[in-house]
């Protein structure tokens, strides 16, 4: 039977780090020879693809470590590939600048935002639902493709950026935020960007009780073609919730530590806010948040709240170094909670805060036990990645709304673990495969980032990008990715019967596969910064 090669080479369209792994994928019935040439035809590398499951074959040219732009050929197929020491520098900057494009309440000037500039938006006070009380809560980031601002996912996004700064400052040092929109431009880039969301989060805490409001939004989503400054419906502050208060407490305690050396005044505010939030938690039951009557924006509800308490308690432990907090959070580490880094399942944030707390403040036996479980969790993810044709720790059931976040969170877990001495041999391989997949090495050949690659996301579910007069969307946004549950009308109509990993469409109406979100970009910043810092040494 003659060999059959797919119509495409599936590769990392952004580029390959000089000292990093370099792979591409094809579909075929048997191994295929491949070669790389310079643009003028000089041969630099040759190899043979290997089977990795089903009809997928992988080619590996990791040994090519000479920077340059090359032509990769497999039979009659060609692809352009770039090898560079800072191959991810531009995309990392764009991913971090996305948070500036999401800024609320301020004008984005053309000098920084280019064709995506807009006037100030959502500048009015918000009315606390069911009362006549108005609260000033300016600033922060629009959460996703809509203009709501939600405490729970904001805490995850802030934590990811703070962690990226702590772990990979060298990679982020080259990034340039929008200088004209920041109040504190002397800070390191990730801290400069995160400060805007932290300042907004502080406005969400009730000064009388210490509890934190769940969200501020208009009652309903505006039409998709609404510019930020044209979204003038009244702003409503939804009630205080346990999840919002706990995640706020954790993020503030983390920020208090990180900003001590850079912005002592902010660190002091965060310390006080975290303490008052935890006091509220101590006096209230764990009750899931549900959208009140008349509010139809993102709910971010969560039935399991013990993981939020673990994160808050561990963050307080690390912030204070007081062993009294260890006695609070150590029993929570024994619970059967999912150790993940999502906006709902946040236990792994708590685990990492516990393991990064001063060793004198925690039990050595508990610390060892936690590290052992963390290693087992990573072993399970590594085994999953080993059995996947694209080397990613994903199963069909993991391709849900925001599947790219799921993947990036899992890659992030490996890199976080290294910082506490849990070194897994698959860590950087899994992180690299996640980046390869995100940047185009997937069955659709889709680069899931706007503005990058040969096949970038062009029609995201993102109101500013839909409403502007620019053909291209805001750059640097990570799309949600394949979603086997097909939770929007156009996805159900067009994608029914597709395999889970291909249940995606680049269409502005497909909010369940093609929306963007701050908490999808934040783990992307962490993982890409980690790869760039390791590859740039």
For the CA atoms of 346, 347, 352, 357, the dihedral, rounded to the nearest 10 degrees, stands at 110
User: Which residue is catalytic, options 461, 462, 488, 533?
Assistant: 461
Sheet holding 126-128, edge to edge: 134-135, 126-128, 236-237, 215-217, 149-150
Record the tokens describing residue 351, joined without a space.
Answer: 């685990």
Residue 56's beta-bridge partner residues?
27, 53
Record the tokens describing residue 310, joined without a space.
Answer: 């673990």
Q: How many CA atoms lie within 13 A of 80 on its CB side?
A: 8
Give exposure, 492-508, as e/b (b: 16+ Cβ within 10 Å). Answer: eeebeebebbebbbbbb
Residue 237's beta-bridge partner residues?
128, 216
Rounded (10°) angle between helices 189-203 and 264-282: 40
Whole-number Cα distances in Å, 39 to 16, 42, 81, 327:
17, 7, 11, 63
User: CA-to-CA distance for 175 and 93, rounded, in angstroms?
Assistant: 5
Record the tokens describing residue 129, joined without a space.
Answer: 């639902």
User: CA-to-CA distance for 92 and 355, rounded, in angstroms?
Assistant: 28
DSSP type of residue 230:
G
Quick one: CA dihedral 28, 436, 37, 534, positive or negative? Answer: negative
Residue count of the chain: 537
User: Which residue is catalytic, options 112, 330, 515, 533?
Assistant: 515
The residues, ordered by sequence, that sit 6+ positions from 455 with a Cβ below 8 Å of its Cβ are 13, 440, 445, 446, 447
Q: What is the DSSP string of 293-306?
A: TT--S-----S--H
The residues, ordered by sequence, that sit 6+ positions from 241 with a Cβ below 8 Å of its Cβ are 151, 212, 213, 214, 287, 289
Note if 506 is an active site residue. Answer: yes
Note if 40 is an active site residue. Answer: no
Tokens 């020491």 — which residue?
85
For the CA atoms of 339, 389, 88, 429, the dihedral, rounded to the nearest 10 degrees, stands at 60
CA-wise closest residue to 198 among 212, 209, 208 = 212
User: CA-to-CA distance for 324 and 306, rounded, in angstroms?
Assistant: 19
- Catalogue the active-site residues: 461, 506, 515
């Amino acid at each position: 039977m003659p060999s059959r090669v797919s119509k495409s080479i599936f590769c990392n369209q952004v580029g390959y780090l000089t000292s990093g792994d370099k792979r591409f994928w094809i579909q075929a019935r048997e191994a295929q020879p491949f070669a790389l040439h310079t643009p003028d035809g000089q041969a630099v590398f040759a190899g043979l693809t290997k089977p990795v499951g089903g009809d997928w074959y992988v080619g590996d040219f990791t040994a090519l470590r000479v920077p340059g732009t090359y032509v990769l050929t497999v039979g009659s197929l060609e692809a352009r590939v770039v090898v560079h020491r800072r191959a991810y520098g531009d995309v990392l900057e764009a991913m971090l600048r996305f948070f500036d494009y999401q800024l609320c309440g301020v004008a984005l000037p053309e000098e920084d935002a280019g064709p995506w500039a807009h006037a100030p938006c959502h500048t009015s006070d918000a009315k606390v639902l069911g009362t006549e009380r108005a609260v000033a809560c300016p600033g922060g980031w629009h959460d996703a493709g809509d203009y709501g601002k939600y405490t729970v996912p904001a805490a995850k996004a802030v934590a990811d950026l703070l962690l990226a700064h702590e772990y990979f400052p060298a990679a982020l040092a080259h990034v340039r935020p929008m200088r004209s929109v920041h109040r504190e431009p002397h800070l390191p880039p990730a801290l400069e960007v995160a400060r805007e969301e932290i300042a907004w989060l502080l406005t969400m805490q009730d000064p009388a009780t210490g509890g934190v409001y769940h969200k501020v939004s208009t009652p309903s989503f505006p039409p998709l073609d609404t510019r930020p400054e044209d979204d003038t419906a009244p702003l409503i502050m939804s009630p205080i919730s346990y999840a919002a208060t706990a995640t706020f407490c954790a993020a503030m305690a983390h920020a208090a530590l990180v900003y001590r050396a850079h912005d002592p005044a902010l660190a002091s505010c965060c310390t006080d806010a975290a303490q008052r939030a935890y006091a509220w938690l101590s006096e209230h039951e764990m009750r899931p948040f549900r959208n009140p009557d008349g509010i139809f924006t993102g709910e971010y509800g969560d039935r399991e709240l013990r993981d939020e308490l673990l994160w808050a308690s561990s963050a307080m432990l690390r912030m204070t170094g007081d062993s009294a907090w260890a006695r609070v959070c150590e029993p929570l580490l024994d619970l059967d909670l999912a150790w993940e880094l999502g906006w709902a399942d946040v236990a792994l944030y708590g685990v990492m805060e516990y393991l990064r707390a001063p060793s004198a403040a925690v039990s050595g036996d508990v610390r060892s036990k936690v590290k052992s479980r963390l290693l087992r969790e990573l072993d399970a993810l590594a085994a999953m990645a080993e059995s996947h044709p694209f080397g990613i720790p994903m199963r069909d059931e993991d391709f849900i709304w925001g599947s790219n976040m799921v993947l990036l969170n899992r890659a992030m877990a490996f890199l976080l673990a290294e910082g506490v001495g849990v070194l897994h041999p698959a860590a950087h391989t899994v992180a690299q495969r996640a980046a390869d997949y995100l940047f185009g090495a997937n069955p659709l050949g889709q680069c899931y980032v706007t503005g990058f690659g040969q096949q970038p996301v062009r029609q995201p579910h993102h109101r500013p990008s839909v409403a502007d007069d620019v053909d291209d969307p805001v750059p640097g946004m990570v799309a949600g990715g394949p979603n086997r549950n097909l939770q929007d009308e156009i996805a159900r109509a067009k994608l029914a019967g597709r395999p889970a990993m291909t249940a995606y469409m680049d269409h502005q109406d497909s909010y369940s596969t093609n929306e963007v979100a701050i908490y999808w970009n934040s783990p992307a910043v962490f993982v890409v910064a980690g790869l760039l810092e390791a590859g740039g040494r």
